[in-house]
Structure 1
């Protein structure tokens, strides 16, 4: 028996404040988001214990489990230090209607959220049964440098109401 991540684990479901049910499944993408934000999956607990703040990290942990459903997309906020290194400072999870996950979680359901993400995380990390094939080596994550802004070859998007003047008039 080998230990691995079960990407087909059913996860668990949480109910948001607007009664939407969201399955939490920790895929490689979700786990990579947690690592990008906290350095490692194990570091999340130490961040909560060291800072005493739990709501921000919990939003990000729950959001990482919600991306596999396709209901939420991560928006990464990062900064660049004086030496040019990029650091992820926050990941905001938004639904297609633009609402942020943090606005849809109810503080009174904190216990059920913690139970749900813990159970989903355990299901993803449980030991694989039988003769599981070894996973291929992970490829390094590529960091894309954002555009410095408009230039001769790029420009901001035009509003949908923009109508260019006809040529030749």
Structure 2
């Protein structure tokens, strides 16, 4: 979970009464951490964020279609973050498909804050794997977990 993710979550939490941060199984992507580890990391980060901004934030995992998960949660809104125009085409297509699958669920896009527009979890992992300093891109807790995963001492 990067500072970019945290930026979008904090801003989304200001426009809804209760925010569910959905952690996808994404087994096909070969994630660095297991689903259980990613949920645990997200729960710690979200608890701290929720307390600091006075928001209601919950973390849940899913391994279904996002629109099905959204409906199961009783929600009607999907919030997606955009860093650059290059993100928009993919997200626009996804929002269109989701609207066809579940017309009652809306998708809104939040542009990343200027300070977070360049942060990519893929790049953060690569920099961390190669021993680079990722402290400006993730929280100290996430950095420690990445360092441990890559075999670096804290």
Pair in the same fold by TM > 0.5: no
**Higher Cα radius of gyration:** 1
Q: TM-score, normalised to structure 2's length? A: 0.29
Say which structure is richer in helix. Answer: 2
